[in-house]
Amino acid sequence: MVNIILIGPPGAGKGTNAKQISNFYSIPHISTGDMFREAIKNQTPLGNLAKTYIDKGLYVPDEVTINLVKERLSCDDCKNGYLLDGFPRTLAQAEALSIIGKELNRPITHVLDIIVSEDVLINRITGRLVCKKCGAPYHIDNHKPKVEGICDLCGGELVKRVDDNADTLIERLKQYHMQTEPLINYYKNLNLVYSIDGNQELSAVFNQIKSILGEIK
Ligand code: AMP
């Protein structure tokens, strides 16, 4: 069984790799960013609150995010493994996750740290498009859909994320370096970290991930 965390800065390819891992290993892909975007679309109280932070490139408060993940990890479909994408992002979240993992007997087994150089990140984010309906990611140069503006998977409309603009990106990178990067050491001390070279072609990145997780399939 694998209970995975994907860590990496915005644009590292967490979403894309998460979808591949989730399909290959048949485990749920839990993205707090996707959960917040869904809540924003449905204009729920959670969505309205999250929007005020996300639009500025800031993190949603820990308490809100931790409760959301706790509820999701308790679901039955997580009993044979799960993949967290974009959570934890702060030390408080990592500590809470450790307690939740113990309570549910679903502790983290692997932390995949996707390492990408800053110029590649900026190019990926500024050229990124996502499907409005299913969230699948594309890129205007490197990962074009078969039909312009239309998702290959579900036929949904491809749009730019509101927070994928140069100003918000600077703030998101700052938040990542300040709050999330320290988690890598936290998990290194627990011997859970595997470094992934995220500058490679998508297929090479996924092959590297499979070679790490491979034997559990
Ligand atoms: P993502 O799709 O993972 O890039 O997340 C988009 C935005 O949602 C982030 O820039 C944060 O504002 C918010 N967010 C997602 N996950 C978290 C989290 N674990 N903690 C706090 N904020 C989060």
CATH number at residue 39: 3.40.50.300
pLDDT over threshold 60, residue 216: no
User: What pLDDT, on the 0 to 100 scale, is given for residue 114?
Assistant: 96
Domain for residue 101, yes or no? yes
Which residues span the domain enclosing 97?
2-116+194-213
User: What pLDDT, on the 0 to 100 scale, is given for residue 88?
Assistant: 98
* CA neighbours closer than 13 Å in the CB half-sphere of residue 154: 11
Contact between residue 94 and residue 183 where contact means Cβ atoms under 8 Å apart: yes
pLDDT in tens, 8-53: 999 898 988 999 999 999 999 999 999 999 999 999 999 999 999 9
Domain for residue 90, yes or no? yes
Best of 14, 19, 60, 67 for a ligand 1 pocket test (most atoms within 8 Å of beta carbon) = 60
Spatial distance between the Cα atoms of 33 and 36, rounded to a whole number of angstroms? 5
pLDDT over threshold 70, residue 81: yes
The percentage of the chain sitting over the pLDDT mark of 90, rounded to a whole number, equals 81
Phi, psi of 84 (to 5 degrees): -95, 125
Using the mean position of ligand 1's atoms as its centre, give its distance from the Cα of residue 164 in Å.
Answer: 12
Residue reference for tokens 């729920």: 44
Spatial distance between the Cα atoms of 123 and 13, rounded to a whole number of angstroms? 12
Domain for residue 29, yes or no? yes
E strand or H helix at 112: strand 110-115
77 against 120, higher pLDDT: 77
pLDDT in tens, 136-189: 889 999 889 999 999 999 999 999 988 888 888 889 999 999 999 999 999 999
Contact between residue 189 and residue 91 where contact means Cβ atoms under 8 Å apart: no
Spatial distance between the Cα atoms of 95 and 69, rounded to a whole number of angstroms? 13
Domain for residue 72, yes or no? yes
Structure tokens at 20: 């591949």
Measuring CA to CA, which residue among 94, 76, 78, 98 is closest to residue 86? 94
How many separate domains does the chain show?
1
Domain for residue 133, yes or no? no
Q: Whose CA is nearest to atom 8 of ligand 1?
A: 33
- What average pLDDT does the structure give for the chain? 93
From the number of C-beta atoms within 10 Å of its C-beta (0-12, 13-18, 19+), residue 197 rates as: exposed
Which of 48-52, 68-72, 83-87, 158-162 shows the lowest per-residue confidence on average (mean pLDDT)? 158-162
Domain for residue 19, yes or no? yes
Using the mean position of ligand 1's atoms as its centre, give its distance from the Cα of residue 215 in Å.
Answer: 31
